[in-house]
């Protein structure tokens, strides 16, 4: 990030460029209370420098399967620190998410086995 950007609030476009997030996503995160914006004299949203870290952490948590509602409930130790792995207050939510992902993987493995079996049976049957 440029040092000149540190001294002044960032526009939503600057924040999007820094984080790779879409303008729509940034507006949504802001509307959901995950970011704190202010309004410039022209009515446009502006964001503090810390929003870059927040957006990156939000993206990371979403990629891990968390919903915005769950992320909103996370304490600052998870939402405001880029790369934060866990806080004692979030361990239970993270365990539940992991259990859900493991159930989904098991279900996908069962489906894969069924499809493999179907394909094996189809290829083994002589054409009529």
Residue range 96-110: mean pLDDT, rounded:
94
Quote the CA–CA distance of 103 and 66 in Å, as a whole number. Answer: 15
pLDDT for residue 27 is more than 80: yes
Range of lowest pLDDT (61-65, 66-70, 78-82, 124-128): 124-128
pLDDT of residue 63: 92
Nearest CA among 67, 36, 69, 31 for reference residue 51: 36
pLDDT of residue 73: 84
Q: 71 is written with which tokens?
A: 């992320």
pLDDT for residue 52 is more than 60: yes
pTM over 0.85: no
Average pLDDT of the chain to the nearest whole number: 85
The residue ranking higher by pLDDT, 79 or 35, is: 35
Range of lowest pLDDT (25-29, 85-89, 121-125): 121-125
pLDDT for residue 93 is more than 90: no
pLDDT for residue 8 is more than 90: no
- Residues ≥6 apart with Cβ < 8 Å to 82: 53, 56, 57, 60
For residue 123, what pLDDT band results from cuts at 50, 70 and 90?
low
Quote the CA–CA distance of 65 and 108 in Å, as a whole number. Answer: 16
């Amino acid at each position: 990030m440029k040092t000149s950007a540190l001294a002044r609030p960032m526009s939503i476009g600057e924040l999007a460029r820094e984080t790779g997030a879409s303008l729509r996503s940034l507006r949504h995160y802001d509307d959901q209370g995950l970011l704190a914006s202010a309004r410039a004299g022209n009515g446009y949203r502006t964001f503090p420098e810390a929003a870059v870290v927040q957006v990156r952490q939000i993206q990371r948590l979403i990629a891990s399967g968390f919903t915005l509602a769950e992320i909103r409930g996370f304490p600052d130790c998870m939402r405001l620190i880029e790369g934060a792995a866990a806080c004692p207050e979030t361990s239970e939510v993270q365990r539940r998410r992991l259990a859900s992902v493991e159930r989904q993987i098991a279900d996908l493995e069962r489906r894969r086995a069924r499809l493999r079996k179907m394909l094996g049976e189809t290829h083994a049957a002589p054409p009529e």
